[in-house]
A and B are shown apart, each in its own frame.
Chain A
Amino acid sequence: MEISGALLPAIPAQGAGVGTSGQLALTVLMGVFLVAVFLALTRAEDWRTYTPLAGGGYGESGHHVRHKPEGITRWLTTVDHKDIGMLYGLYAIVAFVWGGLAVLLMRTELFTPSMDVLGAVAGGTNAGNALYNGLLTSHGITMLFLFGTPIIAAFSNYFVPLLIGADDMAFPRINAIAFWLLPPGALLIWAGFFVPGLAPAQTSWTMYTPLSAEQAGFGADLMILGLHLTGVSATMGAINFIATIFTERGKNVNWANLDIFSWTILTQSGLILFAFPLLGSALIMLLLDRNFGTAFFAVDGGSPILWQHLFWFFGHPEVYILVLPPMGIVSYVLPRFSGRKLFGFKFVVYSTLAIGVLSFGVWAHHMFSTGIDPRIRASFMAVSLAIAIPSAVKTFNWITTMWNGKLRLTAPMLFCIGFISNFIIGGVTGVFLAAIPIDLVLHDTYYVVGHFHYIVMGAIAFAVFAGLYYWYPIFTGRMYQRSLAKWHFWSTMIGTNLTFFAMLLLGYNEMPRRYSTYAFNADWAPLQTVELLHQAATLGAFILAFGQIIWLVNFVQSWYEGPEVDGDPWGLRDTSLYGREFEWHERRLQTAVTDGGEEDEVATDGGVDETAAEEAVADEQSDE
């Protein structure tokens, strides 16, 4: 695991001429892409005055103080948790696009053993391998730190205050600064790709020493700095969420009826509180090792094993930091389309807390093959197997929630069911990896890659999509296009299973991970099978990409042209499943309709009846 593809045997360089022009082409492409994004943003006419509803925006309902400035100033100065949620969402989607493009390039390179597109782009096979390693590193870091964590923050910022009946976050301005630290963090992390003279880091996301401590080039230094910055941001957010959920709950929200999503965010924030600062310190030590001659992780110093301990003490809770809130989204959305309340609510909460505690006691299962003390290994194996129990409790609760329910297969529901299905495969393969003997065989093969992608793509991303579709009417006041949403679901479901199941099989064939090629003698191993499986994985990746394009088109187009919906797009008003966030949405719509959204009218015509005025005031307060 610790040996990255950077250590591949050197293959004679070829096509150096292609290299320079290739690099130039890549730079130009990147520039065109950035300009296109900028133009698209400016052409979207109402992005500056984003008002999701036909009339009136937030907090403009007949009050003498306007709460939002106009134009781009509004977005740079906002401290409204909903605006900040939208900013997090936009940021995460941009990161998702970059992380996805990176992996498409990698999958193309792996289509056949001799394929060398990256070599053609970078100039020479060696440079191509280096680029592959850079893309591999960037894909992992981007998806985990710049897409995963922020997209969860997008949901939690938007909905936790609404769900717990708070006016806003406990510290709205800390909320704003936590977001604004992220874009510079991303620039530092990606700098290796677009700043001339810098090489992208080739450390893989685990940054194992001594490779990461000795690798030349400033790309790794900048990535470490950027990661530290995003870690500071995540920690500030976590403090804010815990303080919000503890001190800002509305009068009728207590611990007994706190919603499941807020529970998972609370647990996640607790994990962030201890995991991210520890990573921060470890990163600083690594940076000192790289630049100032310290011996923290040197081979004859603190030793590379120490890095692995520190990294995975952060890294494994990080997995649960990423998966608990999506589980919360599924637990929240699934019952609404099953016509039944969440089965065993209390036990879903308990299992969340149990996972939160246990997640700090499993880290060394990433290090079974490093030669650590067998007694330590055995105890970590026991805890790692034990953590499957609360996860299974959740799974059974979701299934029982659907059992005998009136299922409505809307897009969010399909993604919830897809989540459960993929989570079972990802989870069960994880149980196998937790067993030492099996891990020793499968360690550092594609099996591991398949396993955790079933979780991060098959489960986490699916739950994210479920949340995005379920709350799309709240974000935009409109409905997405249902048939496109189903196309999105099925292509994502098929693509995910094709890609990652092929990877599980590749792992059984002992295909090692992290290599940019698999040209080997067919007498040693079944090259044909391996090649076929790689091609299946690549095909699946492109099906996945196709699905995500549909999703982007659907969301952007529906934002402008989708049918406007009322406060109850899912037909839940007469049930016990009508959530607080849709109640709030309904109130906002009514207020907007009553006063026509024109603040001046209300101020001058004086003809507003009292109830509407009261509602306006109530809404006003809830917006603050």
Chain B
Amino acid sequence: MATEESDDHGGHHLPAVEDWPRGFGEASWWPFVTAIGGAGFYIGAALFLLGTGEQPLIGSMVGPAVFIASTVVFLVGLYGWLYHAFIVDFWGGEATEHGSPGLRMAMILFLGTEVATFGAGFIYYFFIRAGAWPPAGAELPHLVGSLVLINTALLVASSFTLHYAHVALLNDNRSRFIGLLVATLVLGTIFIGGQVYEYYEFIVGENFTITEGVFGSAFYGLTGLHGLHVTLGAVLIGIVLIRALFGQYSSERHTSVSTVSMYWHFVDVVWIFLVVVLYVGAEFTI
């Protein structure tokens, strides 16, 4: 989750004298601030739980309030961090590709952890899928329809547009780069919209919810986890797009374009696997 916020890997350019606290080179408040925000998500979630149940210990709005406040702190921390680590240097002409191999490697390692994160959910699904099917007393919703197919096509297409955006950047074709980046973001957003619509259809239309039983848990657990990843990916692409509009990328400076691109392709691959095993695999039995 934090790989993208990687540090500038200091010591190779001038100390960040403008950073906060000022004048101390390496020292920085941003990791601490961001950690407060990040931990705040967990504390907010904990307080939310304390506000539930038959005898809530605290008001039901305390948790969400802390969660929202933490989001603000987290984003401020990330902004300060990224701004001082990456952006400031562009205007000072200091930015190099020096940290690039490390950052790319960190993204690959992060994707390794993602395999494990998704792995637990898929293991659960395979575990129940190997049992009696369809699960006793449960009615599966209509899974494989035009919505899923169109959504899949959109997401696959977005991988291609992002890849060719990167190629265009490497060829110094700026307008094509930005155009394809916008296209990727639009496709990703439509995909998220499609997922929300599907949830709406299932929950309201077919009365198939997360408490439905074993398949409900698997379906909403896996698609929800994937949806969160797509959403994060869309945010990252949005950041890349804004930086691209400010002209911060060139064929020599494109580390975050390539790391975000790796992430997006990974999420795409997970989706294809998910469609094959969770949608098609649940509906059809050989």
Chain A: residues with CB nearer than 8 A to chain B?
A: 65-69, 73-74, 76-80, 167-168, 170-174, 176-177, 180-181, 184-185, 188, 191, 197-198, 218, 221-222, 225-226, 228-229, 232, 235-236, 238-240, 242-243, 246-248, 273-278, 280-282, 285, 288, 291-296, 298, 301-303, 306, 309-310, 621, 624
**Within 8 Å CB of B30, what residues of A?**
173
- Which of the listed residues B17, B21, B127 has the most CB atoms from chain A within 10 Å of its own CB? B127
Knowing A274-B116, A293-B210, the reply to whether A66 touches B217 (Cβ < 8 A) is no
**B124 and A285 contact, CB distance less than 8 A:** yes
In the bound complex, how far is the Cα of B38 from the Cα of A610, in angstroms? 47
**Within 8 Å CB of A243, what residues of B?**
102, 105-106, 109
**Within 8 Å CB of B210, what residues of A?**
288, 292-294
Pick from A170, A238, A296: contact of B9, CB below 8 A.
Answer: A170
Pick from A69, A73, A80, A229: contact of B39, CB below 8 A.
Answer: A229
Q: Which residue of B lies closest to A166 (CB)?
A: B11
**Within 8 Å CB of A79, what residues of B?**
7, 10, 26-28, 31
**Within 8 Å CB of B21, what residues of A?**
69, 73, 77
**Within 8 Å CB of A294, what residues of B?**
210-211, 216-217, 220-221
Which one of B49-57, B154-162, B177-185, B190-198 contacts A?
B49-57
- Min Cβ gap A499→B in Å is 35
In the bound complex, how far is the Cα of B29 from the Cα of A185, in angstroms? 20
Pick from B31, B52, B109: contact of A239, CB below 8 A.
Answer: B109
Which one of B40-48, B232-240, B274-282 contacts A?
B40-48
**A181 and B27 contact, CB distance less than 8 A:** no
Chain B: residues with CB nearer than 8 A to chain A?
A: 1-3, 5-7, 9-11, 15, 17, 21, 23-32, 34-36, 38-39, 42-43, 45-46, 49-50, 52, 57, 81, 85, 99, 101-102, 105-106, 109-110, 112-121, 123-124, 127-128, 210-211, 213-214, 216-217, 220-221, 225
Pick from B2, B11, B50: contact of A177, CB below 8 A.
Answer: B2
**Within 8 Å CB of B46, what residues of A?**
188, 191, 218, 221-222, 225
**B5 and A282 contact, CB distance less than 8 A:** no
Pick from B17, B32, B101, B127: contact of A302, CB below 8 A.
Answer: B127
Nearest first, the 7 A-B pairs at minimum CB distance are A180-B35, A281-B120, A184-B39, A176-B31, A624-B11, A293-B211, A173-B7
Can you name 16 A-B residue pairings with CB atoms under 8 Å? A65-B23, A65-B25, A67-B25, A173-B85, A176-B31, A184-B35, A198-B57, A242-B109, A277-B117, A281-B117, A285-B124, A288-B210, A291-B49, A294-B221, A295-B217, A624-B25
In the bound complex, how far is the Cα of B46 from the Cα of A221, in angstroms? 7
In the bound complex, how far is the Cα of B120 from the Cα of A275, in angstroms? 10
**A301 and B217 contact, CB distance less than 8 A:** yes
**B112 and A77 contact, CB distance less than 8 A:** no
In the bound complex, how far is the Cα of B31 from the Cα of A247, in angstroms? 22
Knowing A74-B27, A172-B26, A221-B46, the reply to whether A302 touches B124 (Cβ < 8 A) is yes
- Min Cβ gap A59→B in Å is 8
- Min Cβ gap B209→A in Å is 9
**A295 and B213 contact, CB distance less than 8 A:** yes
Knowing A172-B9, A273-B109, A294-B211, the reply to whether A278 touches B116 (Cβ < 8 A) is yes
In the bound complex, how far is the Cα of B109 from the Cα of A189, in angstroms? 28
Knowing A170-B9, A174-B7, A296-B221, the reply to whether A301 touches B85 (Cβ < 8 A) is no
In the bound complex, how far is the Cα of B57 from the Cα of A248, in angstroms? 50
**B217 and A302 contact, CB distance less than 8 A:** yes
In the bound complex, how far is the Cα of B6 from the Cα of A247, in angstroms? 14
**Within 8 Å CB of A171, what residues of B?**
6-7, 9, 102, 106
In the bound complex, how far is the Cα of B36 from the Cα of A282, in angstroms? 24
In the bound complex, how far is the Cα of B35 from the Cα of A155, in angstroms? 22
**Within 8 Å CB of A65, what residues of B?**
15, 17, 23-25
In the bound complex, how far is the Cα of B43 from the Cα of A185, in angstroms? 9
**B57 and A173 contact, CB distance less than 8 A:** no
Task: Please report whether the interface of chain A is mostly helix, strand, loop or mixed according to DSSP.
Answer: helix
**Within 8 Å CB of A303, what residues of B?**
127
In the bound complex, how far is the Cα of B116 from the Cα of A232, in angstroms? 13
**B10 and A624 contact, CB distance less than 8 A:** yes
**B26 and A624 contact, CB distance less than 8 A:** yes
In the bound complex, how far is the Cα of B27 from the Cα of A66, in angstroms? 10
- Min Cβ gap A317→B in Å is 11
In the bound complex, how far is the Cα of B38 from the Cα of A228, in angstroms? 12
In the bound complex, how far is the Cα of B10 from the Cα of A90, in angstroms? 25
**Within 8 Å CB of A232, what residues of B?**
1, 38
Knowing A171-B6, A191-B46, A235-B113, the reply to whether A246 touches B31 (Cβ < 8 A) is no
**B50 and A218 contact, CB distance less than 8 A:** yes
In the bound complex, how far is the Cα of B45 from the Cα of A68, in angstroms? 35
**Within 8 Å CB of A239, what residues of B?**
3, 106, 109-110, 113
In the bound complex, how far is the Cα of B16 from the Cα of A624, in angstroms? 12
**B45 and A225 contact, CB distance less than 8 A:** yes
**Within 8 Å CB of A184, what residues of B?**
35, 39, 42-43
**A180 and B31 contact, CB distance less than 8 A:** yes
**Within 8 Å CB of B127, what residues of A?**
302-303, 306, 309
Q: With contacts A291-B52, A294-B211 known, what are 17 further pairs, Cβ within 8 A? A: A66-B23, A68-B27, A171-B7, A172-B10, A174-B5, A174-B7, A176-B28, A177-B2, A181-B38, A184-B43, A225-B46, A239-B106, A277-B117, A294-B210, A296-B221, A310-B124, A624-B11
In the bound complex, how far is the Cα of B217 from the Cα of A302, in angstroms? 9
- Which of the listed residues A69, A236, A278 has the most CB atoms from chain B within 10 Å of its own CB? A278
**B112 and A278 contact, CB distance less than 8 A:** no
**Within 8 Å CB of B34, what residues of A?**
177
**Within 8 Å CB of B42, what residues of A?**
184-185, 188, 225-226, 228-229
**Within 8 Å CB of B99, what residues of A?**
170
**Within 8 Å CB of A281, what residues of B?**
116-121, 225
- Min Cβ gap B255→A in Å is 13
**Within 8 Å CB of B112, what residues of A?**
273-274
**Within 8 Å CB of A276, what residues of B?**
113, 116
- Min Cβ gap B228→A in Å is 11
Knowing A174-B7, A296-B221, the reply to whether A180 touches B26 (Cβ < 8 A) is no
**Within 8 Å CB of A309, what residues of B?**
123, 127
